[in-house]
Structure 1
Amino acid sequence: MEFTPVIGLEVHAQLKTRTKIFCSCSTAFGAPPNTHTCPVCLGMPGVLPVLNKKVVDYTIKMALATHCTVQAESRFARKNYFYPDLPKGYQISQYELPIATDGYLDIEVGGSSLRIGITRIHMEEDAGKLIHDPDRPFSRVDLNRTGVPLMEIVSEPDIRSPEAAGEYLRQLRAILRYLDISDGNMEEGSFRCDANVSIMPEGSSAFGTRAEVKNLNSFKHVEKAIYYEMARQKEILLDGGQVVQETRLWQPDNGRTVSMRGKEDAHDYRYFPDPDLLPLVIDPDWIECMRAQMPELPADRQVRYMKDYGLSSDDARVLTGSRELADYFEACLSEFDQPKTIANWVMGDLLGLLNARGLDIIDSPVSPTSLTGLLKLLDAEVISGKIAKTVFEAMAETGQPPETIVEKKGLVQVSDASAIDPIVDGIIADHPDEVERYRSGQKKLISFFVGQVMKQTKGKANPKVVNEILEKKLG
């Protein structure tokens, strides 16, 4: 029997505010434990929360970017549960009346366009962090993160493959970063995901029992965990068993999920409206003010790159994958108006260099000005394509401009036919068998002769001139 996966994702994005959602404590990451706390976020008796307006601004922007309806009125609620990192004994969140509902995000997977529904977006506060002692049987609590503003984005169960789940998350993260409302750093926990996974018989419309998978801190882990969970549930059903509704933990070292606890339902948390916070009323002017501040989003930028620069859909999608990468590309374009050439170098040599060094585009050792300077030398035939690769590597190592490297190393391309002629004559004389085969119809051997010339000139010979001379002499 074949099964179809049914996947819904709950994403928690930490918002880039300087202070917490209900108090003025700092949200800066990495401070000593329990130094960014106050009576409000510690849940002391008698304190009152005050909503951070910037949190609402950012959430409205995300709602607009994902085609959600921003509700005129929403309410904060208390989500009650006991855990050592939750000093109040409840988390302030939103339940029955979230700030935004009924949105969607279009993604492309395997050449097909998919629309993933977004059920709701709501605001809430983060909990603290437990630090488990590796040698002794106790844990410490760091409450710096308590009260840090989160935005939860809940998808419809519209996702049907691990790859689609990964692409949906990448697109969400890109939007958050384009809006500059979250840094989307999964390693620091500012972009976290829980996956609800079930399977149903192929052709069925009745969803199976779902398991919620936690501890997914990378796109790769999300996809691997979903694959594992699909296989686990399939094996249970084929053996005649029943899948249990539960919360499971992904263990990346073992490549498997393990049971944590039974899956709670909403009534288990005894939600009720927070009596310390008034209903949040958002008028149309507030929404339009946020709309006016919206930047060009990834999907719109991708369309523009295809229309204005003639780039393919795949190229445009890669270049708009992050705001910083798209800005780098456009900075290059402002100095050298050849979009396809720039795109090829950025997606090939530059991203290859950054991936090898584990760097982000903002830390690139090759600036847009240096890259375009190199491409100008190549375009003017001052250097050859092979030499350009060498110069690029030297730029990345030394930080020097391409002109300086070319001059110091004497890498100027040789285009003088009188200098190339004797080299070609010598190569033809040294390879009579290849000459005879070429003249008998094996024209592809021209690349062999070109390669020999480039080898002897250490890549300095102009390939165009070399080809012209070879074709003339070989007949």
Structure 2
Amino acid sequence: MTLPCRAQVAYEAVIGIECHVQLNTNTKAFCKCTTTKAAANANVCPICLAHPGTLPVLNEGVLRKAVIAGLALKCNIARQSKFDRKQYFYPDLPKGYQISQYDEPICYGGQIETLLPDGSTRTVGITRAHIEEDAGKLVHSGSDQLSGSDYSLVDYNRAGVPLLEVVSEPDMRNGAEAAAYASELRRIMLFMGLTDGVMAEGHMRFDVNVSVREEGARALGTKVEVKNMNSFSAMQRAIDFEIERQQVSLHKSGRRDEIVQETRLFDESKLQTFSMRVKEGLADYRYFPEPDLPPLHVSDALIDEEKENMPEVPRAVRGRYVDLNLPAADVVILADEKPISGYFDAVVAAGASPKLAANWVLGDLMAFTKESKCSFDDLLLTPATLAELVNAIEEGVISGKIGKQVLPKLLKDGVKAFLKEQGLIQISDPAAIESIVDSVLAANPKQLQDYCAGKKKLQGFFVGQVMKAFKGLANPEMLNQLLMKKLMEAENAAQPVEK
């Protein structure tokens, strides 16, 4: 899309993001139904299906996860908040309203420091984060959308699943900044263990609000909501297209009312946004306090407990890695995912040099995980074993070339399989060891006779012969126990019988 040549007014974009984070609790927000995957409408009960006379009860796990999220986002935690009914009619909403929080959210006034592609940072304010419940899911026959389908079915398994909606301030100015913010928010939620974070499965759903205004103006332009972005790259492209679309419209007409307040969907195949519906205003939802739930009280003790036990946030992890004098590029990648940072930390804790550990983790190990489509949590090679290998190379015990040759086998099969393949597994089979002990004693009658006569040092001779037969791989403790048993039996047999 090309801007008309006659355009003279300069515009800037203003972007805010609402993100629905699906919390990974075992049960739903207001009932005891499980949140695990199941056949359609298997995880439902009278409460989440809105049968008359049923009452919701807040899941404590939802409250605790909301508090952790608020702390990680540097929010204030409201000691008292409340729930509200957000009313709209749609087939996937069994109650005809959604339990949410309107004017008294549990978290407010936070911020996220985002890392931009050029290495600079931008602080994005967090307006609020509030608890709400998810709706069900429409399944369209013969199509992945309503248009073109013969009929639609409703799966209520997702109805009542807990969400945390995180609302940013309109502090972003382009698609790259918005994608960086969204990526950091996802990273924080994953490091805190609050969500599974798979965007393709709807664990984190981003709605982007885009408007444009004349540079230097204080008033915001007409806001357009953009949905249907399943990756951060798609988000960046959708926002940049929408900014240009609005700028073109304003340049042509010069009138702000040319921009319609609406919801638009991003079509990734065409790299364009398309109108979906006119955007509702707050009055359309007719919010009012939820009468079936009491005010939500959060004690200082609960906040202190979660603060003490909460995991390290990504920005703190990056700070630690900077203190280790790791290259900036390595810091970003190591702190990108919790399994990677956790594995790296364990390798360093086991005694490996941070720089060498980073080289191996970001090189051979990361290549292996990508090729094998597995996580660092799934690796058969333990961090302690990798630390031993790295130290052996650093100390000159083995060459780097040998280490590179050994590592793929350790990653693929694990240490035990590698040792077995190399014939290095310790033999701990009692029957096998006993058989060789018997053979050694039978093959050395003179030494056995001398032992029984008092030459106890010959025990070492027998141990050596058994070890030689096993090529040094016999379990020494088991070998000594079995050998002493046999030698005692031989001594008893050699004693003269008293008459």
Which of the five TM-score ranges fits, normalised by the shorter chain? 0.7 to 0.9
**CA distances 1:110-139 after superposition (whole Å, capped 9, x unpaired):** 222211000001000000000111165101
Deviates more, 1:312-321 or 1:292-301: 312-321
How far, CA to CA, are the matches of 1:162 and 1:206 in structure 2? 21
Please report how far the alpha carbon of residue 289 of structure 1 lies from its aligned counterpart in structure 2 after TM superposition: 2.2
Asked if the contact 2:352–2:388 (Cα under 8 Å) also holds between the matched residues in 1, the reply is no
Please report how far the alpha carbon of residue 405 of structure 1 lies from its aligned counterpart in structure 2 after TM superposition: 11
How far, CA to CA, are the matches of 1:162 and 1:296 in structure 2? 28
For residues 2-401 of structure 1, what are the structure 2 equivalents within 5 Å?
2-28=10-36, 30-109=37-116, 110-134=118-142, 137-240=150-253, 242-307=258-323, 309-364=324-379, 366-400=381-415
- List gaps (5 residues or longer) in structure 2: 1-8, 144-148, 424-499
How far, CA to CA, are the matches of 2:356 and 2:10 in structure 1? 46
Deviates more, 1:292-301 or 1:399-408: 399-408
Asked if the contact 2:83–2:101 (Cα under 8 Å) also holds between the matched residues in 1, the reply is yes
How far, CA to CA, are the matches of 1:351 and 1:210 in structure 2? 42
**CA distances 1:154-198 after superposition (whole Å, capped 9, x unpaired):** 000001222222221222222222221212121221111111112
* Aligned-partner residue type, residue 336 of structure 1: G
Deviates more, 1:61-70 or 1:368-377: 368-377
How far, CA to CA, are the matches of 2:259 and 2:243 in structure 1? 11
Asked if the contact 1:391–1:402 (Cα under 8 Å) also holds between the matched residues in 2, the reply is no
Asked if the contact 1:392–1:402 (Cα under 8 Å) also holds between the matched residues in 2, the reply is no
How far, CA to CA, are the matches of 1:178 and 1:99 in structure 2? 21
How far, CA to CA, are the matches of 1:259 and 1:237 in structure 2? 17
Asked if the contact 1:75–1:279 (Cα under 8 Å) also holds between the matched residues in 2, the reply is yes
Please report how far the alpha carbon of residue 384 of structure 1 lies from its aligned counterpart in structure 2 after TM superposition: 4.2
Asked if the contact 2:82–2:289 (Cα under 8 Å) also holds between the matched residues in 1, the reply is yes
* Aligned-partner residue type, residue 325 of structure 2: G
**CA distances 1:238-289 after superposition (whole Å, capped 9, x unpaired):** 2226221110112222222111101111111011111111111223222222
For residues 445-460 of structure 1, what are the structure 2 equivalents within 5 Å?
none
How far, CA to CA, are the matches of 1:161 and 1:406 in structure 2? 55
* Aligned-partner residue type, residue 164 of structure 1: E
Match of 1:461 in 2: none
* Aligned-partner residue type, residue 334 of structure 2: L
How far, CA to CA, are the matches of 2:372 and 2:112 in structure 1? 32
Asked if the contact 2:352–2:387 (Cα under 8 Å) also holds between the matched residues in 1, the reply is no
Match of 1:464 in 2: none
Alpha carbons of structure 1 residues 394 and 283: separation in structure 2 relative to 1, 3 Å: closer
Please report how far the alpha carbon of residue 17 of structure 1 lies from its aligned counterpart in structure 2 after TM superposition: 1.1
* Aligned-partner residue type, residue 324 of structure 1: P
* Aligned-partner residue type, residue 33 of structure 2: C
Please report how far the alpha carbon of residue 368 of structure 1 lies from its aligned counterpart in structure 2 after TM superposition: 2.2
How far, CA to CA, are the matches of 1:401 and 1:347 in structure 2? 24
Please report how far the alpha carbon of residue 5 of structure 1 lies from its aligned counterpart in structure 2 after TM superposition: 2.0
* Aligned-partner residue type, residue 142 of structure 1: D
The 3-state SS of whatever aligns with 1:154 is strand
Please report how far the alpha carbon of residue 360 of structure 1 lies from its aligned counterpart in structure 2 after TM superposition: 2.6
Asked if the contact 2:93–2:135 (Cα under 8 Å) also holds between the matched residues in 1, the reply is yes
Asked if the contact 2:410–2:418 (Cα under 8 Å) also holds between the matched residues in 1, the reply is no
The 3-state SS of whatever aligns with 1:223 is helix
How far, CA to CA, are the matches of 1:50 and 1:25 in structure 2? 12
Alpha carbons of structure 1 residues 199 and 389: separation in structure 2 relative to 1, 3 Å: farther
Please report how far the alpha carbon of residue 21 of structure 1 lies from its aligned counterpart in structure 2 after TM superposition: 0.7
How far, CA to CA, are the matches of 1:403 and 1:289 in structure 2? 44
Asked if the contact 1:213–1:249 (Cα under 8 Å) also holds between the matched residues in 2, the reply is yes
**CA distances 1:173-227 after superposition (whole Å, capped 9, x unpaired):** 2222222121212122111111111222333333222211112222222112112
Please report how far the alpha carbon of residue 338 of structure 1 lies from its aligned counterpart in structure 2 after TM superposition: 0.3
Asked if the contact 2:409–2:418 (Cα under 8 Å) also holds between the matched residues in 1, the reply is no
Asked if the contact 1:373–1:401 (Cα under 8 Å) also holds between the matched residues in 2, the reply is no
**CA distances 1:414-470 after superposition (whole Å, capped 9, x unpaired):** xxxxxxxxxxxxxxxxxxxxxxxxxxxxxxxxxxxxxxxxxxxxxxxxxxxxxxxxx
Please report how far the alpha carbon of residue 400 of structure 1 lies from its aligned counterpart in structure 2 after TM superposition: 4.9
* Aligned-partner residue type, residue 166 of structure 1: A
Deviates more, 1:379-388 or 1:145-154: 379-388
Please report how far the alpha carbon of residue 78 of structure 1 lies from its aligned counterpart in structure 2 after TM superposition: 0.6
How far, CA to CA, are the matches of 1:198 and 1:371 in structure 2? 51
How far, CA to CA, are the matches of 1:318 and 1:66 in structure 2? 21
* Aligned-partner residue type, residue 92 of structure 2: D
* Aligned-partner residue type, residue 390 of structure 2: L
How far, CA to CA, are the matches of 1:134 and 1:6 in structure 2? 39
Asked if the contact 1:41–1:146 (Cα under 8 Å) also holds between the matched residues in 2, the reply is yes
Asked if the contact 1:15–1:150 (Cα under 8 Å) also holds between the matched residues in 2, the reply is yes
The 3-state SS of whatever aligns with 1:237 is helix
* Aligned-partner residue type, residue 26 of structure 2: R
**CA distances 1:29-60 after superposition (whole Å, capped 9, x unpaired):** x2000010001000111111111111111101
How far, CA to CA, are the matches of 1:298 and 1:102 in structure 2? 20
Asked if the contact 2:352–2:390 (Cα under 8 Å) also holds between the matched residues in 1, the reply is no
* Aligned-partner residue type, residue 136 of structure 2: G
The 3-state SS of whatever aligns with 1:67 is coil
The 3-state SS of whatever aligns with 2:18 is strand
- List gaps (5 residues or longer) in structure 1: 409-475
